[in-house]
Amino acid sequence: MKKNMLKWNVIALVGLVVGFSSCGEGVSPEDGKVVIEENVEDTTLLDIPELDEDMAYSVPTPNELFAVIKETGVLYDGTILNSADNSEKYSSKKIQALNFGVYFADLAFASSFEENASILSYFATIKVLSDELGISNALDAAIYEKAQMNLESNDSDSLLFLSNDTYFQAYSYLEENERGSTLALIVLGGWIESLYIMTNLGAYEEGSNLVTRIGEQKLTIGNLMGFMMKYQDDSNVAEVMEELADIEELFWSFEEEEGDDVSTSQKDDVYVLSGGSTILVSAEQYDKLKELVSGLRNEIIEGEL
């Protein structure tokens, strides 16, 4: 990550030097010619993330993301999720934490699409992994029973609340107990799995809702890196941040298309934020992203990272 940021900073610096070096020569244009060059697009300084150590960075949860994804009209596909049986493979704390995040994303996906059989299975797996990670005290002891009761009464809204609450219980417990590095691994695992699911829900279609939602993850990866930066003194966190570097760099290459001027209006008691740019994803970028995300995700679920 540091290496990456340094690289981009150097590129920016070189751009600045090249851009301005010839301005300071102190040469008089007297008796000289004037040549007008064509307009030039200067994107040297575009899209270099500036992370502020004093800023708090938040990352949306998989629950929120899949609520959005559901609206794109995609269909549920349980075959792409991590099998609950894999949980037995995970022996190191690092892999357990990453896969805890993976299973949370799978649970969020299943909950959003009301896939009852998968929901129960993932609640059970999360409970098992929470024991391994020493955070089972934080979770509601009767989480599985509650999930089962909600399923029997066909109460999908309560299941969504239960899945959301379970995430917060784990999150708060880790924060309170100053286990931020474990939290960072969980958040990263959840995000990678969410991205993996998204990129496997449909083929590339320029400008489609799904591809647009995937492109928008460019905003999230900036916040994810900002969030993880706080814990990068932990070697496990630093290692996975390095694994994420290629994906991060690819996101930075996504171009943005100018849109309408930004405006804020109000309708009834609700404000509407409009305008701004749109993130574009090409077919090549989509394929590359899919490949990189699959690679990292498979290393995580195979316990090889």
Partner 1 sequence: MKRLFTNLFLVALIIAPSALLSQNCTNIVKYCNHAKRDGFLRNGQSLSGAFAQGDTAEITVIVYKDMEYRMSLCSPTHDELDGKFEFKIVEQITKPAWKDVVTYETETEYDDYGEELEIRVEKKSRRRVYNKVDVVRYDNKKDEDAQEFVFISDKTRKLTIKVYIPLPEGGDERQGLEAETYACVGLLIEHQPGPTIGFNR
* Joined tokens for residue 151: 């399923």
Task: Tell me which of 53, 75, 85, 267 binds partner 1, using CB under 8 A.
Answer: 267
Task: Tell me which of 76, 109, 113, 167 binds partner 1, using CB under 8 A.
Answer: 167
Nearer to partner 1, 277 or 298 (CB): 277
| Other Cβ atoms within 10 Å of 64 Cβ, number | 14
Q: Which residue carries 């239960």 as its tokens?
A: 162
Q: Is 45 in the site for partner 1 (CB under 8 A)?
A: yes
Q: How far is the CB of 107 from partner 1 (least distance, A)?
A: 14
SS (H, E, C) 79-146: HHCCCHHHHHHCCCHHHHHHHHHHHHHHHHHHHHCCCHHHHHHHHHHHHHHHHHHCCCCCCCCCHHHH
Q: How far is the CB of 79 from partner 1 (least distance, A)?
A: 26
How big is the site for partner 1, counted in residues (CB under 8 A)? Answer: 71
Q: How large is the C-alpha radius of gyration of the chain?
A: 23
x/- map, 197-236, partner 1, by CB under 8 A: ----------------x--x--xx-xx--x----------
Q: How far is the CB of 241 from partner 1 (least distance, A)?
A: 18
- Using the rule CB under 8 A, give the single segment among 44-52, 82-90, 148-156, 243-251 that binds partner 1: 44-52
The residue among 300, 69, 79, 77 whose CA lies nearest residue 186 is: 300
Residues 171-190 that bind partner 1 (CB under 8 A): 171-172, 175-176
Spatial contact of 214 and 195, defined as CB atoms under 8 Å apart: yes
x/- map, 104-123, partner 1, by CB under 8 A: --------------------
